[in-house]
Amino acid sequence: MKINGVDFVFYPVSDYDRSVTFYRDALGLEMGIEKKGTYAEFSAGNVTLMIGTYGEPPKEGRQQGGAIVAFAVDDVAKAIAELKARNVPVTMETAEYPPCFMAMVKDPDGNEIMLHHRKDGTVG
């Protein structure tokens, strides 16, 4: 078997409307396919983020699986400042590492989201 790439990342959510508002309005992702109240897909550049009310809903305020989606941004510190202004919880302030800058925020269900910028400018 050969893996050719990532088709989408999925996060289960407990409150569909609240999560759509977060990903669409707070993060500014463009919503694509949607089955209202059940699932929605958002374009995140080179990958699709899907949220939905499938299976056991997550417990509010707690990271659910081991997955973390990492969104590539042009300026991590600026992105964190914008999200703080929108009252998005920041769990890790901007940090610099030899190859990159990164920070972490949480969605309304406690799923962690990484904001990431590679110093070489590559994405994906």
- pLDDT of 1 reads 54
Given 3-state DSSP classes, what are the helix, strand and coil percentages for the chain, each rounded to the nearest 5?
15, 40, 45
What is the widest separation between alpha-carbon atoms in the chain? 45
Does this model's pTM top 0.85? no
Q: Is the pLDDT of residue 29 over 90?
A: yes
CATH number of 8-118: 3.10.180.10
% of the chain exceeding 90 in pLDDT: 50
pLDDT (0 to 100) of residue 10: 85
What are the pLDDT digits (tens) for 66-89? 678 889 999 999 999 999 999 999
| Distance between CA atoms of residues 81 and 94, nearest Å | 10
Q: What is the mean pLDDT of the chain?
A: 86
